A and B are shown apart, each in its own frame.
Chain A
């Protein structure tokens, strides 16, 4: 079974600064996907960024980038130039890339507050 661990329950960052959210996972699979989802207060969950395990290059989406360390099973999210709209809960998630049983497994989430 796969597990996803987000050990920091809350973080706070000043607007325009950079923040890194940590995530570790455990799996015996070799092919899988990793995700960061954002859930703003009372709003829908949206996908922030996705990483395929077979790709060595770290994924980047505008101000969002990941540091994927496959051997260490670590998948952190870096948010540059933080904006007030980045305030939300962030979930790290895992999904296998093989077989029929490839549900999303989520971490407990981290609440990020961006201060003006």
Chain B
């Protein structure tokens, strides 16, 4: 079974531009979560989607948005890029959504975004 895939793997953008990152979950998984990883802040939760609906959202500005499609693939978008947005963006998929039942999250390799 194929794992979580993220595209592109590496990206260089200029301040002020916008960027779209893509995540394809493991087949059959319906939940996708996004995390930002930086050396200074560590791993921080961005948002979680389940069945095309955003279920949870982290403490990030509105420039960060996401969506999920009917095939469970997810995209996240960052508008008006800032230097501080340079990070590794990780996507994780799971069978179900967060809640009382535990569903293991499987992580993708990440997209390394560099903003210059």
Contacts and interface: CB of A to CB of B under 8 A. Distances in A.
A43 B109 contact: yes
Interface string B84-102: 0000001000000111101
Q: Is the interface of B mostly helix, strand, loop or mixed?
A: loop
Interface residues of B, number: 24
Interface stretch (A12-20, A58-66, A73-81, A90-98): A90-98
B43 A106 contact: yes
Q: Is the interface of A mostly helix, strand, loop or mixed?
A: loop
Interface string A18-37: 00000000000000010001
A33 B100 CA distance: 10
Contacts, number: 55
24 contacts: A43-B109, A44-B108, A47-B104, A50-B104, A91-B42, A93-B43, A100-B55, A100-B98, A100-B99, A101-B98, A102-B56, A103-B33, A103-B48, A104-B33, A104-B35, A104-B43, A104-B45, A104-B105, A106-B35, A106-B43, A106-B44, A107-B42, A108-B42, A109-B43
Interface of B: 3-4, 33, 35, 42-45, 48, 55-56, 58, 90, 97-100, 102, 104-105, 107-110
